[in-house]
Amino acid sequence: MKAKANTTKGAPAPNQPPHLCDNCGWRGDTPDEIRNLWERVDTGGIMPSGQCPHCGALCYLDTPAQRLHAAAPALLQACRDALEIMQIAKAYFPQSIRNSARFRLLNIEANSIRPAIAQATGTN
């Protein structure tokens, strides 16, 4: 079984060691060297920073960038869902609601998501 980074549990306190075990929660400065690295990581996945000296699972650097990387697929899906909900609302809500200032504002906000999705996915 390949491990996945589970680095979305919250930011480490300042001065905490940066390596976090994906399995047991061990945190430290010096994880072990990873045994059988290429059998344990997915292509394009987050590169582990070491192996947990406590349980042997993979460790990852617990940084804001790594947490964002780990959360990216869920964030992208949430953006797509928001756009889809807006499309449904535009199609089915009564005209009186669609003409309301609040609804128009929501539509503007939803449209601002499109460029972010295009940038994230490399599409236009």
User: Interface with Zn ion includes 105 (CB under 5 A)?
Assistant: no
User: Interface with Zn ion includes 57 (CB under 5 A)?
Assistant: yes
* Among residues 3, 5, 21, 61, the one that binds Zn ion under rule CB under 5 A: 21
Return the beta strands (E) in the chain as ranges.
19-21, 27-28, 50-51, 58-61
* Among residues 5, 20, 46, 52, the one that binds Zn ion under rule CB under 5 A: 52
Q: Which stretch binds Zn ion (CB under 5 A): 6-14, 22-30, 102-110, 116-124?
A: 22-30
Number of residues engaging Zn ion in binding (CB under 5 A): 8
Question: 48-68 burial, b for 16+ CB within 10 Å, e for fewer?
Answer: bbbbbeeeebbbbbbeeebbe
In the complex, the smallest distance separating the C-beta of residue 31 from Zn ion, rounded to whole angstroms, is 9
Positions touching Zn ion (CB under 5 A) are: 21, 23-24, 26, 52, 54-55, 57
